[in-house]
Homo-oligomer: A and B are copies of this chain.
Amino acid sequence: MAAVTADSQNNNLFKRKTKKCLKNICSIKTLKKRLPIIQWLPKYKREYIIQDIIAGITVGLTAIPQGMAYAVIAGLPPEYGLYASLTSGIIYVIFGSCYNITVGPTAIISTLTTRYVVGYSPDFAILVAFLSGVLILLLGVLNLGFLVEFISMPVINGFTNAAALQIAASQLKSFFGLQGSSGNYFAQSVYNFFNNVSTAKLSEPILGSSTIIMLLLLKKMGQGCKRTDGIVKQVRWFISLSRNAVVVVVGMIIAYTIKLVNDSEPLILIGDIGHGLPQFGWPPFSTVVGNETYSFTEMMQTIGVQAAVLPFVAIIETVAIAKAFAEDGRIDATQEMIAVGLCNIIGSFGRSMPITGSFTRTALNHISGVKTPAGGVTKVLLLVVALTYLTSTFYYIPKSSLAGLIITAMFSMMDFSIVSSLWKNSVKEFLLWQVTTIVCLFLGLEYGILIGVLAEALLLLYNVSRPSLKVELLKALKGDILVVNLCENVSYCAAEYVRQKVMRATSYTLTNVPIVLNGLNLRMLDFTAASNLMSIIKDLDKTHHIILLNFNVDVKKLCLSIDSQFESKFMYASSPLELTEIFTKDV
């Protein structure tokens, strides 16, 4: 009978939940939440236009050189970095919930893509974008975004720093004009660098270093200048913000001048860039590399399970950025995931590599005073112009300029500020940070973050299996009472530990000392823990007077369903001392 009631209750609850859920899905409020453009576009004001355009131009001027640089990191032809900002830029305007954010290729996502491109073909990067998009969208729709909360700050910090180091190390090849490959992870890149350092050219590192110095000077030039300052300061502000474009243009001019004067190309240039907009069509579900045809299954096998790290990193990046730039600190993580998921899915139809929110360009967007997601439209127009008219100009971009650009960006990405705090406050978390960093550097980023997350989850499970118990001997007028306070929830994995602790505590007492198990802080028990508790009671009941104090109704019900003979042991009182009356009467 009880089972039937519980069953029908469950059923009713389920029906009500389903109804509420369906109602929620179909409401106008949900539509507005899921299509933010219908919220902001009708409210668009004329004065926003100028600000959105200015912001779009500054962002675009960074998106072009960064996009090409990140495509190069991923081992892709440079135009793929532009394709990646193109479709996604439009999609984000429609679905994005945070107007500051600009999406596109990022350094970490690109470096995670590398291993699917080098030795294979760009088609793999596009399929990875499609699959990542599907996973991100799914996680968003199923409300599973909380999964990224299982990646703690020490792990993220270790991962990000290692990624920056790896990306910088992978650029040593271009920076010094070396031969050979650049390596899939930090240790390999460094090894390859020392292995090939004898093939270094002089001109490349000179241009690379000049690029870095120029970037630092241009950054300094803009300090203290605002968009709203006088015309001189405004120009300084704009040039400083567009410094990524400026250094690339300078490199380009140098290479072109040498070509004109000497009719030679001593610098390693980016070379031919695919001209025009990408061809739209289905993502490549099969492909040909060399003479070998890869079916969908074979492509999936090549990509492998560890590729699942990529969408999670994409979610972390975009959610972290949204948090940093949301006006009131409140963000709709689900909507962000839906937007980034769709950007990747639809982007992959336009030959986009995997993308996510970009921290640099979002910050730039914010500083430039963007007002609505419409700023992204200007950026996309600029990219269209670049792809249509500028590809032959881009031919002259020196690779060492891009390398200098990337290395500079990477050094500003590194952040070791939490490390000393970790060391001082929690050696365990410091070790976790170290393990993540070391595995990232020496085995690869995917393994590092996976091992970091697993190690932290195991530590957490261990902590849960060792809840704190407070044992106290209360001296009352009518005799002592041993009180065992269960201060935290007891889970199945803590059941045995609690038994041992309770047994040890009681073994030091005389048999006529009553024992009170205080369950005030016990929110819930699972079946294993409850069974164990009842077996403790059964054992102690032989030798002691025992009381279960202030256990909540659910826990009591569960305990009694396991062993109903101890109903009289459950009692309620505001303090264990109130129970002395009972003990003195009974014993």
Residues of A whose CB lies within 8 Å of any CB of B are: 2-3, 6, 10, 146, 149-150, 152-154, 329-330, 418, 420-427, 429, 456-457, 460-461, 463-465, 468, 487-489, 491-497, 503, 521, 523, 526-528, 531, 535, 539, 554, 557-558, 561-562
Contacts and interface: CB of A to CB of B under 8 A. Distances in A.
A418 B561 CA distance: 10
Contact of A427 (B10, B418, B489, B523): B10
B523 A521 contact: no
A495 B156 CA distance: 14
B146 A527 contact: no
A562 B468 CA distance: 26
Contacts of A487: 521, 523
B496 A149 contact: yes
B468 A457 contact: no
7 contacts: A6-B423, A146-B496, A149-B496, A418-B531, A421-B558, A425-B554, A460-B461
B493 A149 contact: yes
Nearest to A521: B521
A489 to B, nearest CB: 7
Contacts of A491: 460, 463
Contacts of A558: 421, 425-426
Contacts of A418: 527, 531
Given A464-B460, A493-B460, A425 B154 contact: no
A527 B150 contact: no
Given A154-B528, A489-B488, A562-B421, A149 B465 contact: yes
Contacts of A539: 329
B429 A153 contact: no
Nearest to A153: B528
Contacts of A503: 329-330
Contact of A526 (B426, B495, B535): B426
Nearest to A539: B329
A340 B219 CA distance: 68
B426 A495 contact: no
Contacts of A461: 150, 457, 460-461
Given A330-B503, A527-B418, A493 B150 contact: yes
A460 B493 CA distance: 10
Contacts of A492: 149-150, 152-153, 456, 460
Contact of A528 (B152, B489, B497, B535): B152
A330 B523 CA distance: 28
A567 to B, nearest CB: 16
A539 B330 CA distance: 11
B152 A425 contact: no
For A153, A425, A497, which residue has the most chain B Cβ atoms within 10 angstroms?
A: A425
B488 A526 contact: no
Given A152-B528, A461-B461, 5 more contacts: A150-B461, A153-B492, A425-B554, A460-B492, A468-B523
Which 10 A/B pairs are nearest by Cβ-Cβ distance? A152-B492, A153-B528, A152-B528, A425-B558, A421-B561, A149-B493, A150-B493, A149-B496, A429-B527, A329-B539
A4 to B, nearest CB: 10
**Residue among A426, A495, A535 facing the most chain B CB atoms (10 A cut-off):** A426
Most-contacted residue by chain B among A2, A427, A491 (CB, 10 A): A491
A149 B526 CA distance: 13
Given A418-B527, A420-B3, A488-B488, A465 B150 contact: yes
A185 to B, nearest CB: 25
A460 to B, nearest CB: 6
Contacts of A10: 427
Contacts of A527: 152-154, 418, 421-422, 425-426, 429
Contacts of A521: 487, 521
Contacts of A420: 3
Interface centre among A10, A460, A489, A557 (most CB of B within 10 A): A460
Contacts of A3: 420, 423-424
Nearest to A540: B329
Contacts of A557: 425
Nearest to A527: B429
Nearest to A145: B496
A465 B420 CA distance: 26
Contacts of A495: 149
Given A461-B150, A495-B149, A531-B153, A523 B422 contact: no
A30 to B, nearest CB: 19
Given A146-B465, A146-B496, A330-B503, A561 B152 contact: no
A62 B488 CA distance: 46
A101 B368 CA distance: 77
Contacts of A427: 10
A145 B488 CA distance: 23
Nearest to A418: B527
A541 to B, nearest CB: 12
A154 B523 CA distance: 20
A464 B429 CA distance: 18
B488 A523 contact: yes
Contacts of A488: 488-489, 523
Nearest to A2: B424
- Most-contacted residue by chain B among A150, A154, A420 (CB, 10 A): A150
A526 B426 CA distance: 8
